[in-house]
Structure 1
């Protein structure tokens, strides 16, 4: 790696994670600064180097709202939005009791017709509509100008005032990102109830930046054309903090694995949202900043936040990111879940007065004959915890174990059905495609399929089937060809 100052770093693997800083340009009104976010320096020379190495570059855009001094806000005109009563930590390694801190409220207000009229009157001064901004913006978090234009039938839009931190008076005006000129921003924000006298600490602005077309990447996030060069974050054409962090994690793991001569860690669509995210990026046409949404995952019944440790902690342990202590805790948890499900499914409950009384209290049909605890848990109005009064042999278990017991029993039929779908998916993923295959040689493949397969170079049949323009008939032809190919080799 050679820097702009001519310093040289010799390395076996490199990870590019330029965020929104690559040839970044911050814009509001007719003001345009070639700078990164928060006045930090942009990376202005890397794009040319990447292009010289044959890497295709895209130009995307995102935006941010103004920051407002909380001391100048009239919260009496807003609806208070409270934090969770019980804080649930992001990590299974975090002691839940240690994060039970007082929550700082957010506040809800709304734009109105006056706000919208100010915006409509000044659209010709918006760089979004004047042609000054060339980059493609994110579909799922549009600017306030976009909302007013595209949803003209709506007479108001939600605005969330969110604290920037515990030790600052800055408030983030969620829902009102903009690239309108400074004077228009002042008029627009001051038209919102509660913000009439608001002091704007930092203006809203749009930011344009360079990123790559992610189809140039393997599922390991290594560039197909440059061995040892990995890529992560918004540089891959995604948008959002969680999406960026997930890719940085996988790129980091796989860069280390390559240096150590190990196989890359590739999470698939059936086991994680990271797998869905990366697979979508490397197999689908990316025309706008990509956001990860649950609706993009076909196996989302299995991809729940409550079972993330069961799905992924073993992989974390194998790559050295999970301690022995945490891994053993997981093994114990899995054993407790399995044993308790078995006990509940085999515990018979008679139609005693105590049982019937509980069922009546829960508006559940009384028993005509004996049944099992498992069958009662499957009733929509009942749960594992609600039956503790009649479960005399119930052991004392952690709440994360009892939660899994309840979910696995209650939704067992649906979960089994999805696991069968995953089996079929895994079969397709296991059918590897040789790297040097010439799709032009395969008879009966449609021209579009040949073009797309040559462009994306999928690593397996499953991946090939998800490429836009490759039909099920093309996949059948490819499978027949691969059978003959493997026999010859």
Structure 2
């Protein structure tokens, strides 16, 4: 369907795509589909809470930071909005190898939402209304639109559900509970009931958040300061301005206090065709760390009878990797303390978030427990922590495009698929928006595989394995994490983003030039010779063994203790460098040099997996009759509907013998011409 003229019928009546929910998934979905030329309607229950950070106002972290960079490489906006609203940036795990490096940013919560709202309001083809969706309009197994509380029926060719925690949401503080998707925000009661009646399996999860506290009532002298990186980086891929910038600390020039304390003007987001340099940063703020103690634990233990979790009022399972303080005290009873991270919520206010102190205990118990911690003796709680239970849907009932297998033209993204986290939601929203638009245009869906992106790992895990607890991305979930690094997401995905129309040609050209430069630098190091006389004095300062003969500079760069950035500075002093190289190019070359053997081994493994992926499971194959495949594996083929042998092999419970048996059956029947 093409664009509507507005003369043919009111714009309120019909759209190409409807997106339900204005959270992180909904924002990315709506922006993507609108930028791809589809008239898109975003429906949210509160237009002032779009892209609201319900929990910690941070983006990124282990595994999550890689996803955000992948979103940027595909043409999504989360990375750039994060950069425009960052209060603190840290690259985590720098003491480990590059596969583990993960960017994380603490954001200005209010500004993050504002910049997203500005972005949505200035996106062509995108319309926003404040309303509540009561149910979808379904006919003949197809989604035809939605029915809203105030506007009634609105028709659309494709619909994307990004309901977050609002579907039958239930808020718990102590033994009190009330309906809601967030505290003091009503939930949606009917929609998930309808979807279950239509055949989509509904389940229940819970999540929670910490108290927000008044920083003016804390004694920060009792805490351990956690400043951000002295040379903060960005999530978005921008033009790199500074040759020989050394993240490890060499030759840094710190910003002055006045530069740090003067906030930049409120940033606006860049157009879809932008080639903007890195946005100006807000004043960079520190986070702080405190610890619970035995007295804290005593207060919590003595009040577990007032916890909805331990009184079995809450039925849904919570995230294992983000437990409540009640869980920590109960499960790790032998630990004398647990860390709490005190993190700012905005650049100018006094509201702070307590990372590590999520709780659904009564307000007075939360206050009593916090006041046992050094520095919290006079703490004032602005808003208590709480838990929220909500409905989600079995993600194995989705295609890899995130379209429902049960209801055609209905896509699901975000926490409704059983995930947790802004980053996971935003990535799903982006893919759902892209695929809804591609479907409307009569094009095949964009499916990102496990070898290409963490986004592909996540969606494949959801669709083929399902979830029994809220799904969170970790680097350990990826089989090829050395290949799926945060620094090379542009190389892996930007060509895809360009082909679907979300990455402008200028950005693609910059990316190609960057990797050409990396190749040039590696080749130059392989061809450039150095001798002991000119290098040994410097090599000793690097705590490395002196040279005994002339070698190629590449051989020095291979040494673990030698940083390529520092080596390039030395080569420049010797007059051997003809052109300067940007820091991003140097970092990329260093990874290629130092991890070349391991990258090659991963490539071989990926090629072997690709062979399995190329062997599709024919629709005409009657797996129920295959004696060479176990009964369990045959049942799971029917449940998960894998498209190829690689997907079949990744299903839990499927053995190598099952894969071999299925392969033999496919080959035998193919040779017979059956």
Map residues 124-163 of structure 1 onto 2, 5 A cutoff.
124-163=305-344
Q: Which residue of 2 aligns with 1:357?
A: 537
Pair 1:398-2:587 in alignment: no
Q: Which residue of 2 aligns with 1:10?
A: 155
Pair 1:372-2:514 in alignment: no
Map residues 229-268 of structure 1 onto 2, 5 A cutoff.
229-268=410-449
Structure 1 residues 99-108 or 370-379, which shifts more? Answer: 99-108
* CA contact 2:628–2:662 (8 Å) conserved in 1: no
* CA contact 1:377–1:406 (8 Å) conserved in 2: yes
**Superposition deviation, residue 443 in structure 1:** 2.4
Structure 1 Cα separation of the partners of residues 535 and 384 of structure 2: 63
User: 166, 172, 191: which is aligned to 1:21?
Assistant: 166
Pair 1:311-2:495 in alignment: no
SS in 2 for 1:393: coil
Runs of at least 5 residues in structure 2 that lack an aligned partner in the other structure? 1-144, 240-275
User: 211, 221, 226: which is aligned to 1:76?
Assistant: 221
Structure 2 Cα separation of the partners of residues 232 and 89 of structure 1: 26
* CA contact 1:28–1:182 (8 Å) conserved in 2: yes
Structure 1 Cα separation of the partners of residues 625 and 438 of structure 2: 35
Structure 1 Cα separation of the partners of residues 370 and 582 of structure 2: 48
Q: Which residue of 2 aligns with 1:381?
A: 561
**TM-score where L is the length of structure 2:** 0.70
* CA contact 1:15–1:231 (8 Å) conserved in 2: yes
Q: Which residue of 2 aligns with 1:445?
A: 629
**Superposition deviation, residue 359 in structure 1:** 2.1
SS in 2 for 1:195: coil
* CA contact 1:355–1:390 (8 Å) conserved in 2: no
Structure 2 Cα separation of the partners of residues 84 and 321 of structure 1: 31
Q: Which residue of 1 aligns with 2:86?
A: none
**Superposition deviation, residue 64 in structure 1:** 0.5
* CA contact 1:285–1:468 (8 Å) conserved in 2: no
SS in 2 for 1:360: helix
Structure 2 Cα separation of the partners of residues 398 and 458 of structure 1: 44
SS in 2 for 1:175: strand
Q: Which residue of 2 aligns with 1:325?
A: 506
User: 401, 405, 418: which is aligned to 1:224?
Assistant: 405
Post-superposition Cα deviations, 1:264-283, rounded to whole Å, max 9, x if no partner, equal: 11111112111111111111
Distance 1:238 1:97, change over 3 A: closer
Say what the alpha-carbon RMSD is for the aligned residues: 1.6
**TM-score where L is the length of structure 1:** 0.96
**Superposition deviation, residue 12 in structure 1:** 1.9
Pair 1:46-2:191 in alignment: yes
* CA contact 1:435–1:457 (8 Å) conserved in 2: no
Q: Which residue of 2 aligns with 1:93?
A: 238
Structure 2 Cα separation of the partners of residues 125 and 38 of structure 1: 19
**Superposition deviation, residue 226 in structure 1:** 2.0
Structure 1 Cα separation of the partners of residues 446 and 604 of structure 2: 24
Q: Which residue of 1 aligns with 2:611?
A: 427
Distance 1:435 1:139, change over 3 A: farther
SS in 1 for 2:658: helix
Structure 1 Cα separation of the partners of residues 414 and 588 of structure 2: 32
Distance 1:82 1:244, change over 3 A: same
Pair 1:199-2:380 in alignment: yes
**Superposition deviation, residue 431 in structure 1:** 1.6
Post-superposition Cα deviations, 1:245-268, rounded to whole Å, max 9, x if no partner, equal: 111111111111111111111111
Structure (1/2) with the larger strand percentage: 2
Q: Which residue of 1 aligns with 2:393?
A: 212
User: 195, 201, 207: which is aligned to 1:62?
Assistant: 207
Structure 2 Cα separation of the partners of residues 119 and 437 of structure 1: 58
Post-superposition Cα deviations, 1:120-156, rounded to whole Å, max 9, x if no partner, equal: 1011111101010000000000000000000011111
* CA contact 1:182–1:203 (8 Å) conserved in 2: yes
Q: Which residue of 2 aligns with 1:188?
A: 369
* CA contact 1:89–1:96 (8 Å) conserved in 2: no
Structure 1 Cα separation of the partners of residues 147 and 492 of structure 2: 41
Structure 1 residues 465-474 or 7-16, which shifts more? Answer: 7-16
Q: Which residue of 2 aligns with 1:32?
A: 177
Give the number of the structure with larger relative contact order, counting CA–CA contacts within 8 Å between residues 6 or more apart: 2
SS in 1 for 2:200: coil
Runs of at least 5 residues in structure 1 that lack an aligned partner in the other structure? none
* CA contact 2:238–2:278 (8 Å) conserved in 1: no
Count of matched residue pairs: 488
Distance 1:225 1:97, change over 3 A: closer
**Superposition deviation, residue 387 in structure 1:** 2.1
Structure 2 Cα separation of the partners of residues 461 and 226 of structure 1: 26
